[in-house]
Structures are given as structure tokens and as C-alpha cells.
Amino acid sequence: MSRIALNPPDADVCRDLVRQLQALRAEIVGVTRWRQAGDDPLAALPAASRASAENLLHYLSLRCLDLRGLQEQLARLGLSSLGRAEPHVLATIDAVLYNLALLLGEEPSVPDPSGPSGIYAAFDACAERPQENSVRLLGDKPAKRRGYIMVTLPTEAAHDYLLVHALLDSGMDCVRINCAHDNPDSWAGMIRNLRYAERTAGRKCRILMDLGGPKLRTGPMQRVPGVLKVRPRRARDGRVLRPARIWLTSAAAVGRDYGAADATVAVDPLWLAGVRAGDRIGFEDGRGAARTWRVLETTPEGCWVEARKTAYLVNGTVLGLKRLGEAPEAQTSVDSLPPQEAVIAVRSGDVLLLDRDDAPGAPALHDTDGQLLRPGRVSLPIAEIYHDACPGEPVYFDDGRVAGIIERVEDGQLQLRVTRTRNPVENLGGDKGVNFPDTRLDLPALSAKDLEDLEFAARHADMVGLSFTNSPADVRMLREHLQRLGGDQVGVVVKIETKRGFANLPQIILEAMRFPACGVMIARGDLAVETGFERLAEVQEEILWVCEAAHVPVIWATQVLETLTKTGQATRAEITDAAMGQAAECVMLNKGPHIQQAVRVLDDILQRMQGHRAKKRSMLRKLELAVLFRGATDPAR
């Protein structure tokens, strides 16, 4: 076989690349040159975090430049294109310079006096730090996978030990306790059950206590008379597939659980005692429509009836017994339906008032001709909003279901114009999230309730979640309060869920590094609303890059396998999203009736995906598809 002559790369091209890389390295190193001048802001960080902080600064300096042309040139020579330099910026550049010198047949000039071994050592050290920081924050590394699984504990976990044990047995590595729900007694019950489960399972599980933070929510709405809608289950063509099942009972038994009932209605016990199986119950519903129900069975506690037509019950609806061949008998009235909160029917183009007054909100009022007399009004009694908001700034409600723009700012009131609704008509009620993505709100990072909850967390949590982290000052405030409460060893998870928090991410991370352990949660719910749903994929990638450069673990959160958790059946998009979570160090699941199944599925997904990808790097494990192809096309093998 004749030997093929190989042409070495053009020497001028290689030397030009060396010049570009040397200039790039000098600029990156220049960012931290002040350290030699004695003015070192990283000196306040723990010694274990300083090298990571310096690498973060190097990476941010690198990403101030557009390097796509340089990357293309390096890739043509089979060299690293710097695309995976996040955890070891200088070591990557030094390695490329070393290899370029070898291509030129020159003596490599390596800044580290130990030569190439120094480059290898830098790579190894930078590879170890993210793992060490993950263990420091999240606990011992899982046995069969790289990524951790965190689960938000439901209220039942406070009294259901078997649920907590099953979650731990299914693969849960960390728990999240949402301080926006339940109370210290419930949290203590959850922790107690977790500790019992740990002893039984023989493994530890870290606890994240997630503070509620300054979450903006609409206030309560006016109360309106209660309405109970009862309807059968129908096919698409309108045929009744199953009549509605109604449980009629005395007022004393209303609180009991009758899971098979579509509706439970309290009636007079004396009237109920006269009901017999086979009777008919006639009435006019809230719309004046005549309806008849059939009695299926009676018991000492009540009776089962069925309905084949939709009915609307209101307080005052009169129910009358009808017995075959007899005149109508006794009557009773429905009078126990509780009042309900009103909702505002919102359409694109509507005017909506946001009020500082804490009076209940109210729907829009129209005259008999349909002319608007008073716009719909919701309350949001937070004074800073009406001081900081400006005309032209956007406002979002209910996870972006309703979008508006501020038209006018008055004393204690904002007038909004609705610009978009997810559906033609959206019902806006109380306790719905509100986002001001472009308004610089001067809100405290920790509410009065957060400070109360922090006293519990300082004693029981391994890490505290700081919701709506916007600035380094927010992180500093949390650290000072924890130190005051004796929680010096508690780690922090900064939650990035606002546009401002994302813009300040590097400074936030540098401040968080002063904690014994720190991490970043990508809270994709509010973050998507704040930055725009179409930008979420880009934003979460940037967060992953910056955190990898800082060697800080990331928690991938919000709606992971949500449909599976709620219904027991995952969507295709959810499986793909969960697989993308392997780019983070931890994936968080929210609570739901099928949470144990969701933990097992996520455990399987993360184990499979780690053979294909590690962070953003493709792993070339043996691909079964390739083996099958070779076997089909090469019989000799």
C-alpha cells in the first residue's frame, strides 16, 4: 500500500490563530489583573470558591466577544473550538495554543511552568469543582446517575410516612418544602417522616425550604351567590354517556367524602326521610329550565339520584317529590350553597383597573344596552407598584394568560389596556400571579412572613430557596438574617425568575458564593412570563452556561413531567423536556397524585441520558442503532 502524503496546515493560518488566541488570553487575564494590585473583591469569598469565581470572570470576558469566526477556523484544524470552555476557560485556551505550536513544529510556550501537565491538572481541577459543589449543596451523589432528583412534598407528607418512604425508595434525593403553603407544624411532620424514611432506607436526603418571597398576586374578588352546575357526561355528538350522580344528604353529613358523586347537595332531613327509590324530583333551575332527577337508592344518611340533563342550582331552588300515580308531595329548598368569588371576563382591548385599595375586586359593569359603565377592577395593595410603574410598561396576569399595558398611572391606581388573552375570553379572579417585567420595583427581598419562616428554616433546612432574587443585595440580606438566627451552615438556592434577576445573575452568583454552599434554580414559570415565552429556551441556556463557568449546581424546575404527575400519563414534549434537564445538576418535580410514578420515570430518563450527554457535551457511548446497521450491511461481522 502506498503511503499518502499529508499536507500540514498552512503555517500562516496557524500563526494568525496563535496571535488571536494570545490576544484573547491577554484580554481575559486582564479582567482579573486587579488581584495583583491588592484590590481583590474575591478575597471575601471562601478559599474554596475563589478559583471558581475567577473562572466565571474569565468566561464573562470571553463571552463579551463574537468568536464564531475563530471557532470555525479552529474546528477546521481538528482543534477545540472553545465551545465547551465554560468550566476551564484558561486551560482550554492554553491547550489550543499548545497544540497549535506542535502543528507549527515549534516549542510550545505554556504559561504554566510545569508545562502540559499543568494544563491537564487545571482541566482536572475544574472538572472536580462542579461535582464537589453539587455534593456540598445537594448531598451524596446518587448511586446510578449524575443528576439529582428533587421533589416538592405535598401536604399529605406531614402525616403519611409511607408516601415519603415510597418517594425516597423511588429515587428522590432532595425534598423541597414550599413555605408559601402549609405551616410550621406541617413542615415539622414532613421532616419527621423524612428522617424516619432515611433510617429505613439507609440513605440521606437534603431539605430545601423555599421562601415565598415577594410574589405579586391579585387580591380577593367580590363574593357572589353560589351556583352549582350539575351535568352528565356526554359524547361529542351530545349523547349521554353517563348521567350525573348527585348525593342528597342532610346538612350534618355534607362534610363527608362521597368520591363517586359529581355533586353533593344538602337538603332538609325531614324531607329527605320521605324520599323513596324510584321517586322523581322536579324543579326549575337557576335559568328557569324545568328539570327532573330520578332517585336510585336511599340510605339512612341520604340518597343517590341521577340527572340526564344539565342543571344550575342556586340558593332558593325548590325541589319537589314526584311519585308515580300520585300528586306532588313535600318540597324543600336548596339554601346551603356557599357564596363564590366573582371573576372578570377579560377580552383583548378591554380596560382593566389595578387598585391599591384592598377592597375586593369587581367585574365590569354594563348598562342594558351593553355600554361600559365601569371597567373591571382587581386589587393589588402594594404601595411600591403605584410609585414605580410608568405608562407604556407591560403587565401580565395568571402566568401570562392576560397581557396588558399601562395607559395611565394615578394616585393608587393603574389603568391598563388588555393587549392579549390566551383564549378569546379569560376569567381573571383572585390570587392570580402578576408580573411587571419592565418595572423596577423597589420591593424587599424578604417579606414579614419570609422572616418568620426563616426562623424555622434556620433550624431544620440544609438550604434555603430565595424566591424572586433580583440583586446581590437580596442574597446579602438573606445571609445576614441566617447568621443572626444561627444558620451559618445553611446553603442558599437563588431562584432566577425575573428579568432583573437574570440580568444580574453573575453578581448574584458571586454574592451567593459567600454561603457554605450555593446553587441556582431556573424557575421557568415566572421567568417565561417576564422574559417572553419565545425567549425561555435561550435564557435557560445562558443560565446553564454561566453557572457551569462558576462551577455552581443548577436546579431545573417548573412543570417537569407535570401532566404525568397530575394524570399518570406524560406528553411527548414533557419527556423531551425532562431529558433536557440532564444539562442541570438537579431536576425538580412538583407535587401531584402520581408523583411516585413521575420520580421513577425521571430516574429512568436521567440514567439513560447520562450515557449520551454530560452537561452540553455529547458522550460517544456505543450506539445500538449503529450496531444494528453494521450487522445488516456487513454479513461478515
pLDDT digits (tens, 9 = 90+) for 162-183: 999 999 999 999 999 999 999 9
Q: How far is CA 368 from the centre of its chain?
A: 44
In a domain, 4, yes or no: no
Let me know whether 506 and 603 are in one domain: yes
Beta bridge partners of 224: 340
CATH number at residue 312: 2.40.33
pLDDT of residue 92: 92
Single residue among 74, 101, 129 that ends a domain in this structure: 129
Residue 585 lies in a domain: yes
In this structure, are 263 and 285 located in the same domain?
yes
pLDDT in tens, 249-268: 986 545 444 668 899 999 99
Judge contact between 150 and 573, C-beta under 8 A: no
Q: Give the domain CATH number at 349.
A: 2.40.33.10
Chain mean position to CA 98: 44
In terms of domains, do 500 and 428 share one?
A: no
Domain end, chosen from 101, 129, 157, is at 129
Query: Counting Cβ atoms within 10 Å, is residue 517 exposed (0-12), middle (13-18) or buried (19+)?
Result: buried
At 248, the pLDDT band (50, 70, 90 cuts) reads: very high
Inter-helix orientation angle 595-609/161-170, to 10°: 10
- Answer yes or no: do 586 and 599 share one domain: yes
CA angle 118, 119, 125 (to 5 degrees): 85
Residues in contact with 589: Cβ distance below 8 Å, sequence separation at least 6, in sequence order: 149, 150, 151, 152, 560, 561, 565, 595, 598, 599, 602
Instruction: Decide: helix, strand or coil at residue 578.
Output: helix
Tell me the pLDDT tens digit for each residue of 564-608: 999 999 999 999 999 999 999 999 999 999 999 999 999 999 999
pLDDT of 67 higher than 50 = yes
Do 334 and 346 lie in a common domain? Answer: no
Does pLDDT of 548 surpass 60?
yes
**Of 311, 338, 365, which marks where a domain is finished?**
338
Amino acid symbol at 157: A
Task: Tell me whether residue 264 is in a domain.
Answer: yes
pLDDT of 531 above 80: yes
> DSSP letter at 433?
B
Closest CA to 363 of 433, 435, 430, 286: 430
Q: Is pLDDT of 215 > 90?
A: no
Is residue 107 domain-shared with residue 143, that is, in the same domain? no
Which pLDDT belongs to residue 323? Answer: 80
218 lies in some domain: no
Q: What is the pLDDT of residue 613?
A: 73
Left (φ > 0), alpha (ψ -120 to 50) or beta: where does 82 sit? left
205 and 238 part of one domain: no
Inside any domain, residue 151: yes
Judge if 25 and 41 occupy the same domain: yes
Mean pLDDT, the chain, whole residue set = 89
Measured between alpha carbons, how far is residue 95 from residues 14, 124, 142, 220, 487 in Å?
Answer: 14, 13, 32, 61, 43
Residue 614's pLDDT is 72
Q: What is the mean pLDDT of residues 10-33?
A: 87
**DSSP element (H, E) containing 223:** strand 223-224
Give the structural domain span for 147: 138-213+445-618
The confidence score (pLDDT) of residue 634 equals 64
Whether the CA torsion 145, 150, 155, 159 is positive or negative: it is: positive
Task: CATH number of the domain at 142, please.
Answer: 3.20.20.60
Whether 235 and 329 map to the same domain: the answer is yes
For residues 258 and 291, state if they share a domain. Answer: yes
295 and 171 housed in the same domain:
no
Residue 623 forms part of a structural domain: no
pLDDT at 114 > cutoff 90: no
CA angle 282, 288, 293 (to 5 degrees): 25
Asked whether residue 628 is assigned to any structural domain, the reply reads no
Overall average pLDDT of the 608-619 stretch: 73
Neighbours of 75 (CB within 10 A): 13
Strands (DSSP E) contained in 334-412 are: 340-341, 344-346, 351-355, 365-366, 372-374, 376-379, 394-397, 402-410
Examine residue 272 and state whether it is found in any structural domain, yes or no: yes
Considering the entire predicted model, what is its pTM? 0.84
Number of structural domains in the chain: 4
Give yes or no: residues 120 and 200 share one domain.
no
Q: Which spans in 517-623 are helix H?
A: 524-531, 536-549, 562-567, 572-580, 595-609
Q: Is residue 329 scored above 80 in pLDDT?
A: no
